[in-house]
């Protein structure tokens, strides 16, 4: 009985802490969507808090209400893909997500990803010279947890190296971290392509 009550208390505490841990808004770009360097600078120049997904609102939700990442539906992800250009960055967004394309089972960045990364680099250059950006690698759930974690770390490092080598951004300004499959955008389909991404936020 004591063990049951302890487990219940921990579960309740975790449930109450979840909204607090999901307070950050993320602008999610789809492949080919134009990235505005001014938006990049505005978003990455803000102080980091926690994580929410900035998706197109449903008909029943107010436009300003963010959707917690853990409750994103396939329909919400599809809605986010209907525009080729975003409006200006929401005032409370504090992270950007890009669908960086890599060669299969590799950390090699494909040419299709370069236009978005180049625009991102232009935005980073607009930040204060001592500002730091965190580059997060994320994968879908295909493969083992350990494999995906290592792949996500390698891909985050590959993006950092691209920004350093092709745009002259100081490596010390770019922190990298990999989360593997542990932080999907689309929780309804852990294998969804939208979960394979690189995310950026001000550190």
The answer to whether 99 touches 31, Cβ cutoff 8 Å, is yes
- Of 120, 122, 83, the closest CA to residue 201 belongs to 120
Q: What tens digit of pLDDT does each residue of 142-180 get?
A: 999 999 999 999 999 999 999 999 999 999 999 999 999
pLDDT at residue 1 in the model: 53
> Domain segments of the chain: what residues?
2-202
pLDDT at 51: 35
Q: Looking at residue 94, what is its pLDDT? A: 82
Which residues of the chain have a pLDDT value below 50? 3-23, 47-86
- pTM given for the model: 0.70
H, E, C per residue of 17-45: HHHHHCCCEEEECCCCCECCHHHHHHHHC
Helices (H), 37-144: 37-44, 74-79, 114-125
Q: Specify the pLDDT at position 102.
A: 94
Query: What tokens appear for 152 in the block?
Result: 């996500």
Q: Name the DSSP letter for residue 110.
A: P
**HSE of 122 in the Cβ direction (CA atoms, 13 Å)?**
12
Q: Report domain 2-202's class.
A: alpha beta
């Amino acid at each position: 009985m004591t063990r049951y009550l302890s487990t219940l208390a921990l579960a309740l505490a975790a449930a109450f802490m979840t909204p607090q841990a999901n307070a950050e808004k993320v602008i999610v770009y789809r492949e080919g969507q134009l990235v505005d360097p001014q938006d990049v600078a505005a978003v990455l120049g803000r102080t980091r808090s926690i994580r929410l997904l900035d998706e197109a609102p449903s008909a029943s939700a107010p436009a300003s209400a963010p959707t917690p990442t853990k409750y994103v539906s396939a329909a919400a992800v599809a809605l986010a893909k209907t525009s080729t250009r975003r409006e200006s960055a929401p005032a409370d967004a504090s992270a950007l997500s890009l669908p960086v394309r890599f060669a299969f089972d590799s950390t090699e960045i494909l040419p299709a990803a370069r236009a978005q990364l180049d625009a991102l680099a232009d935005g980073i250059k607009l930040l204060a010279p001592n500002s730091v950006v965190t580059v997060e690698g994320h994968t879908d759930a295909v493969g083992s947890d350990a494999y995906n974690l290592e792949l996500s770390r390698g891909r985050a490092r590959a993006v950092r190296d691209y920004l350093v080598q092709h745009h002259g951004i100081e490596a010390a300004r770019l922190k990298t971290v990999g989360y593997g499959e542990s932080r999907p955008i689309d929780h309804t389909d852990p294998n969804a392509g939208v979960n394979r991404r690189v995310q950026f936020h001000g550190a």
